[in-house]
Structure 1
Amino acid sequence: MSERQLQPTVTGFTADGTHVLRARVYYEDTDAGGVVYHANYLRFAERGRTEYLRDIGVFQSELADAEGVYFVVRRSEIDFRLPARLDDALEIRTVIAGIKGASFLVEQTIAKAETDEYLVKVDSTIACLDRKGRPVRVPKSVKSKLDRQDGAVS
């Protein structure tokens, strides 16, 4: 099966605890040459983190309503290796690399589907804030779910 025939938007966990989100590169993601615009890799990474959280039972809108806690990107480091192009099937692979008091570390790679070599690597620190924008501890309800994943480190 060619990469252009792979199903987009499929999520799940691998045996080693890595979360995988499949996505397709659309025209809106690219520049005039059909190459993914560099800032759009942050959008792919955000989708991967969001689907990871949903798949472990953490819904950000419910968390905000119930506990007044929000996740924000505090820091991201991006390593661009190779470009993605229009119509490429991608896999956004997400692993929780560590949990601290008021934040957690996320390692992500974006690769062409069913390949091992990544195109882009994104390492982010996700901070937890209250309604007033002050740092708060990662809620126990979230931490326990993050801890259950094989890739999580306390």
Structure 2
Amino acid sequence: MHALPALGRFEGLEHYFGLRVYFEDTDLTGVVYHANYLRYLERARSDMLLAAGIDQRATFEGGGGAYAVRDIAMRYRAPARLSDELVVVSHLSALRPAAVIIQQRVMRGTLLLAEADVEAVFVSPTGRPRRQPAHWMAAFEPLVSKGN
């Protein structure tokens, strides 16, 4: 089976993932329901891994493990609404042997709607932290933002 191509793209150290707000994303008032931002961030992180050449599914199915979100700090700045075109901008701010820190922003044009700091830990199939695969580390090292 061939992996699907990434939908987003890297520009320098930042990964850009576009999406549109659909009716199912909104609450009664037509504003994006707060929990859906977590879905947007997850989709962008998954796409970022694909764009970096990392196949999460193959690693997991091969018994290597997977990422689990250990911590997320989210700040909401302005609402997104039905039919808005959004971009999730992600970059790696730290890389450790068993974890990665990703900073993400949800944007509508130049307006910041939400931002998050996410710590994802690589865990074994039994849920214990373990070192990330060496080829994952090699793919990430040139993408880590220095000084952020």
Task: Compute the TM-score of the two structures, normalised by the length of structure 2.
Answer: 0.90
Pairing partner for 2:120 from 123, 126, 130: 126
| Structure 2 unaligned spans of 5+ | 1-5
Partner of 1:14: 11
Give the counterpart of 1:102 among 79, 90, 98.
98
What residue in structure 1 maps to residue 29 of structure 2?
A: 33
Quote how far apart the aligned CAs of 1:66 are. Answer: 2.5
2:3 is matched with none
Measured in 2, the distance between the counterparts of 1:32 and 1:47 equals 24
Is this contact kept in 2: 1:99–1:152, CA < 8 A? Answer: no
Q: Distance in 2 between matches of 1:73 and 1:150?
A: 18
Q: Matched residues, percent identical?
A: 32
Matched with 1:5 is none
Give, in angstroms, the shift of residue 57 of structure 1.
0.8
- The Cα of 1:44 is off from its aligned counterpart by 0.2
Q: Secondary structure at the match of 1:131?
A: coil
The residue number in structure 2 matching 1:70 is 66
1:100–1:141 Cα change, 3 Å: same
The alpha-carbon deviation at position 151 of structure 1 amounts to 2.7
Task: Could you list the structure 1 runs, at least 4 aligned residues long, displaced by more than 4 angstroms after superposition.
Answer: none
1:86 pairs, out of 76, 82, 86, with 82
C-alpha displacement of 1:128? 0.5
Specify the SS of the correspondent of 2:143: coil
Distance apart, 1:102 and its partner CA: 1.1
Structure 1: tracts of 5 or more residues without a match? 1-8
Paired residue secondary structure (1:148): helix
AA at the equivalent of 1:131: P
* Residues 59-105 of structure 1: CA deviation (Å, up to 9, x unaligned): 11011123421101011000000000000000000101101121110
Aligned residues of 1:128 and 1:135 also touching (Cα < 8 A): yes
Deviates more, 1:58-67 or 1:29-38: 58-67
- Residue 40 and residue 10 in structure 1: after superposition, are their counterparts in 2 closer, same or farther (change >3 A)? same
Q: CA RMSD in A?
A: 1.6
Opposite residue 101 of structure 2, the aligned amino acid is: L
Deviation, structure 1 residue 148: 2.2
Q: Normalising to structure 1: TM-score of the pair? A: 0.87
